[in-house]
Amino acid sequence: MVASGSSKQWLRRHVSDAFVRQARDAGLRSRAAFKLKEIQGKHRILRPGQVVVDCGAAPGGWTQVATGLVQAPRRGFVVAIDLLPLDPPVKQAMCLQQDFTLPASQDRIRSLVRQYHVLRDEEAKERRLARQQKRNAAKPSSPASNEVIEASEPEPQPAPSRPDEVTAETVEKPAHAVSTRPVDVVLSDMAPSFSGNKSLDRLRTVGLAESALDFAVPLLRPGGHFCCKILQGPEADELRTRMRSLFENVFYEKPKSSRTESAEGFLVGVGFRVPGEPGTTRSTPREAEEADLVAVAEHEGSQ
């Protein structure tokens, strides 16, 4: 099959693109990773320990960035969901090949997050036990007291390495109830196959963003965040209006890594307000920075 003139032009531009080269050199799956990095630099929607869902995640560039920023899987948890497979999977994320618009997908994600929290609780218990044993070993104690310590020591249980490996045998009861709104951030960099009809392409892109927002609304925690791709045009106005009713602040971003000639942009919703409930207040950048420092200190202290 002979490539058309426009295809050849796109290929030449792609090969010479600076962000494509940088992505390849950094081991990133797509140049789109830099767009999320720029958005993060301005709005800090991703932080260590968060639960994130990347809708339409393939090929996985945004998933790679998200797992690094939330420190998954050690501290945070990222679900990458797409009808297409992430091949190879992003090892630090839970990769699901299914339709995120189906209610069953939401139920699956809630289940995974619950298991993730159970696993985190079990690991925290093990770390506390190890620290206690270390302190006990450092103390001078009588033989009698040693016998008591040894007798009271619980038999160690192996912790499953991933949330989907948690079974009835390893977890009998959840350590705490997980909210029905367990997700901190929903991301969507989805775009349709472009037809060349600008109005139709804008409409289809907004349709994908709308479906991601529909997915996010029942899952986002109060104060959570949402980011989606759009094409500039009147078709996005209704989506922007809807987001303003759901978030404390809504921003439009055109990252420098987006091609200049592209109509691509991103809507960023910050500070989710649960419909029908009192609004939530967004953390200030200073408060977010302090929260990050506390989280890092807690993480280092648990090692």
Reported as a single tens digit per residue, the pLDDT across 240-282 is 999 999 999 999 999 998 877 888 999 999 999 999 876 444 4
User: What is the three-class DSSP state of 202?
Assistant: helix
DSSP string, 137-172: HHS---HHHHHHHHHHPPPP-PPPSSGGG--TTT-S
Reported as a single tens digit per residue, the pLDDT across 49-80 is 999 999 999 999 999 999 999 999 999 999 99
The closest of 272, 278, 270, 198 to 236, measured between CA atoms, is 198
Active site (annotated) includes residue 229: yes
The domains of the chain, with CATH numbers, are 31-107+178-288 (3.40.50.150)
CA–CA dist 225, 233 (Å, integer): 23
Mean pLDDT for all residues in the chain: 80
Return the bridge partners of 97, or none. 82
Choose the catalytic residue: 42, 173, 229, 256.
229
100, pLDDT greater than 50: yes
Single-letter code of the amino acid located at 53: V
226, pLDDT greater than 60: yes
